[in-house]
Amino acid sequence: MSDTRANKRFRSQEWFDNPNNPGMTALYVERYQNQAFTRDEIQSGRPIIGIAQTGSDLSPCNKIHVFLMDRIKAGIRDGGGIPMEFPVHPIQETGKRPTAALDRNLAYLSLVEVLHGYPIDGVVLTTGCDKTTPAMLMGAATVDIPAIALNGGPMLDGWWQGKRAGSGTIVWESRRLLAEGRIDYDEFINRVCASAPSLGHCNTMGTASTMNAMAEALGMTLTGSSAIPAPFRERMAMAYETGKRIVGMVLDDLKPSDILTRESFENAIVVNAAIGGSTNAPPHLQAIARHAGVELDVKDWETVGFEVPLLVNMQPAGEYLGESFFRAGGVPAVMGELRKAGLIREGAMTASGRSMGENLQGWASLDAEVIRSVAQPMRPNAGFMVLSGNLFDSALMKTSVISEDFRARFLSHPGAEGIHEARAIVFEGPEDYHDRINDPELKIDENCILFIRNVGCVGYPGSAEVVNMQPPDALLKAGINHLPTVGDGRQSGTSESPSILNASPESVVGGGLALLQTGDMVRLDLNARRMDALVEDAEWQRRRAAWRPPELTHQTPWQELYRRHVGQLADGGCLELATAYQRVARNLPRD
């Protein structure tokens, strides 16, 4: 230990060892002693390391962390710190109604309050299920004490009748089979359950694997941390190493503000394209960037990421699942391949205390079937397109999941590749969609685009994963699995649907989507990155003047608070007022 390290006074000592305030110090020490910490230990001048526990019975995707806790704590002890585990508000993607997205900002808020208000010098952020990762990183960015992320890892691969059954992706496929009458209710449930064979989060490249890859690409984990399947011994070893490392980060005062820079966000955008990552990554990364005070615009996703090729052959954009991805080398192997092609910002600092370029030395794909090289990718130009027009200022399209069939059907306008004109069918939300999608009156055919609105951050509330709407049963039976879909909500990262989503501003705050009517013609021009309703200007203005915001019904106090303060998906869906609070650990709270 160097002198500067030995002489360091930690913020926790303001609680536990402050002779200027014996009254409060005694109170802090006595109560933490009663759970078997000794006075010597707690006043030893060793850093207190919080462990933000996101696993619980309500959060099965993250429950592995309950079993990893011994290893994390052992690492912290061996590193010279004192571990203190604390619970995080649960955020479970599939279990929380109306949507787990509502809880990301709530868990963020409470993490900020815990890290600021308790004697914590550094923190291990346990991550896994979709929103747990951004919530933890957003909180760490706002507080800015040393922090490191530890993913719980994906489940083992699921199998159904000799084929890989991937989380979420099997749901979308099975729904179509159910609608076509090819399977029944029991088989539907059994197929989906086959995709979840162990503890861990979704085993596809859905939002969970994506966001944990993002944490690693940002430099907020140890190298190779994010892709290890939950039950593997390497996961336990990584828990130990992560615990050990956070103590070093505290001693070196290596903070999120040193790691979360413009360069590291550009690395994350590049990696997201290469892994075929979720369309949920942009709003989550925007949110982390805003809380870290880093300039990032939704358009950066196209300018930085669009031309990056798809390297990872993993569902929903490819074939394999988490076990194969890990064995092929995981995120550092992908980044190693990107680095060889000069696509990685090598100078970005990371949690290891070394630069990203140093961490990636020697890393390359171990299995070219699962992780391709940049020279021989799955497909070129795999990043997001960012569209605009009179229906929205921005919306995203994930190009890595556009099938050849879809491209031929919808994006090959005679004489103009990438242009599609179609009749709009507008739904007011998922209930309206389910009620009317098979209504023959709507005359939905191949030449229609399905729209859904009122499902953004304010509208839903929280923004719902409902934009990947399935075509009517009659079209499915005719072999048309996808129609173009558009909406102000999101879609699951496990969906292979080429939707246009995250439209901002959303309809309930007066975005152009609010003015669209069923029967309007709409033009999608991918080359110009535009989507416009082909409605006469005067008529559009008339509709604008007649538009009134819908009455919103809140069911809980948080829904009301959230709606009052949330921004748009293009800006990360943050609590806008919270973005003004930066590096709050600089100011200690009062006694």
**Residues near ligand FES (CB under 6 A):** 61, 93-94, 129-130, 167, 201-202, 206, 208
* Three-state SS annotation for 224-236: CCCCCCCCCHHHH
CB of 151 to ligand FES, least distance (A): 11
Q: How far is the CB of 546 from ligand FES (least distance, A)?
A: 41
How far apart are alpha carbons 60 and 92 in whole angstroms?
8
Look up residue 403 and give its two tokens. 């099938």
14 vs 465 by CB, closer to ligand FES: 465
Query: x/- string (CB under 5 A) for Mg ion, residues 91-130?
Result: --x-------------------------------------
Minimum CB–partner distance for residue 60 and ligand FES (Å): 8
Contacts of 53 (CB under 8 A, 6+ apart): 65, 66, 69, 85, 86, 87, 88, 126
Q: How far is the CB of 280 from ligand FES (least distance, A)?
A: 11
CA gap 168, 155 in Å, rounded: 13
According to CB under 5 A, which one of 126, 315, 492, 507 is a site residue for Mg ion? 492
Q: Which does 173 bind (CB under 5 to 8 A by kind): Mg ion, ligand FES, none?
A: none
Q: Identify which of residues 60 and 248 has a Cβ nearer to Mg ion in the complex.
A: 60
Comparison of 150 and 296: residue with beta carbon closer to ligand FES: 150
Closest contact distance (angstroms) between CB of 258 and ligand FES is: 29
Neighbours of 397 (CB within 10 A): 23
Distance CA 526, CA 396 (A): 11
> Shortest approach of ligand FES to residue 129 CB, angstroms?
3
For Mg ion, which stretch binds (CB under 5 A), given 148-156, 464-472, 525-533, 538-546? 464-472
The reply on whether position 144 binds Mg ion by CB under 5 A is no
Shortest gap between Cβ of 165 and ligand FES (angstroms)?
Answer: 14
The rounded distance, in Å, linking the Cα atoms of 357 and 172 is 39
* CA pair distance 543, 517, nearest whole angstrom: 10
Helices (H), 80-168: 101-117, 132-143
On the CB side of 129, how many CA atoms lie within 13 Å of its CA? 28
CA angle 258, 263, 135 (to 5 degrees): 65
Angle, CA 428 vertex, CA 425 and CA 429 arms, to 5°? 110
Residue 492 interacts with which of ligand FES, Mg ion, none, CB < 5 to 8 Å by class:
Mg ion
Quick one: 71 or 284, whose CB is closer to Mg ion?
284
Minimum CB distance to ligand FES smaller for 61 or for 246: 61
- Chain centroid, CA 174 distance in Å: 24
255, HSE (Cβ side, Cα atoms, 13 Å): 16
Instruction: Rank residues 167 and 499 by Cβ distance to ligand FES and give the closer one.
Output: 167
| Minimum separation from the CB atom of position 92 to ligand FES (A) | 6
Instruction: Choose the contact partner of 201 out of ligand FES, Mg ion, none; CB within 5 to 8 A by kind.
Output: ligand FES
Residue 390 binding result from ligand FES, Mg ion, none, given CB thresholds of 5 to 8 Å by partner type: none
| Sheet with 147-151: strands ordered across | 82-87, 48-53, 122-127, 147-151
Smaller CB distance to ligand FES: residue 133 or 399?
133
| C-beta of 213 vs 475, nearer to ligand FES | 213
Judged by beta carbon distances under 5 to 8 A according to partner kind, the member of Mg ion, ligand FES, none in contact with residue 442 is none
Those residues whose C-beta lies under 8 Å from the C-beta of residue 376, and which sit 6 or more positions away, are 368
Report the partner that residue 208 touches, choosing among Mg ion, ligand FES, none (CB closer than 5 to 8 A by kind).
ligand FES
Q: Indicate the helix (H) or strand (E) that contains 84.
A: strand 82-87
Place of tokens 């020490």: 29
Return the number of the residue (94 or 373) whose C-beta is nearest ligand FES: 94
Q: Would you tell me which residues interact with Mg ion (CB under 5 A)? A: 93, 465, 492
